[in-house]
Amino acid sequence: MKIIMLGAPGAGKGTQAKMIAEKYRVPHVSTGDIFRANIKNGTELGMEAKKYMDQGLLVPDELTVKILLDRVAQPDCADGYVLDGFPRNIPQAEVLDKALSELGEKIDYAIDVDVPDENIVRRMSGRRACLSCGATYHIEHIPPKKEGICDKCGQPLVLRDDDKPETVQNRLKVYHEQTQPLIDFYTAKGVLRTVDGTKSMEDVFASIVEILG
């Protein structure tokens, strides 16, 4: 079962991807994780990606696809995987499609976790992170025991630049321009399924399980 997760930044697709991976016993393949692993292991592809990341640039499509295909060719992906954060745009989707069809494979489901922009801005601006141990909280949904202090290590919590409303608005703009067309792309292939991402995490997951069977 090969699944792609779609949805705006902050829609909760990463959380759902992890839950799917756990339930169906397939790897959760996140492009961010693969990049970090390749950089940590000092691979040739990792070092190439690092050049771009160090400058705050997006890793080019061709390199991203190479790194991704290298990952899904590993034995643990033989029974399928959940792709999270890839493809980001139509060119990436086309390259992935071509590479999979050469292997006699295809994507089975593209699941779009649909959440209106205003919900995402509210959701993300409520996030707080501990820069010391990496723990994350939400002032409404997962508040720390003591306001502004990490439960785990006692360090101050911060609103990351990434989660500030103006940054979120910019990220959503990029998402709508680049990633939204993927919804039409996968609809045309007959594999797109949409779930209501405004529901609780458990309800969203139940909707996904219903689709996957």
Number of domains comprising the chain: 1
Buried b (16+ CB within 10 A) or exposed e, 140-161: eeeebeeeebbeeeeeebeeee
Position 76 confidence tier, pLDDT thresholds 50, 70, 90: very high
Is 140 inside any structural domain?
no
Phi, psi of 206 (to 5 degrees): -60, -40
Average pLDDT of 133-145?
A: 91
Q: Is the pLDDT of residue 37 over 80?
A: yes
| Residues 101-128 pLDDT 10s | 998 999 999 999 999 999 999 888 999 9
Cis amide leading into 9 (omega within 30): no
Determine, yes or no, domain membership for 48.
yes
- Report the CATH number at residue 7: 3.40.50.300
| Active-site residue list | 13, 88, 127, 160, 171
Give me the chain's average pLDDT, please: 92
Q: What integer pLDDT is reported at residue 208 of this predicted model?
A: 97
pLDDT of residue 60: 86
Based on the number of CB atoms within 10 Å of its own CB, is 198 exposed (0-12), middle (13-18) or buried (19 or more)? Answer: middle
Residue 131 forms part of a structural domain: no
CA proximity to 115, closest of 175, 29, 71, 170: 175
Alpha-carbon torsion 147, 158, 34, 188, what sign? positive
Residue 41: per-residue pLDDT: 92
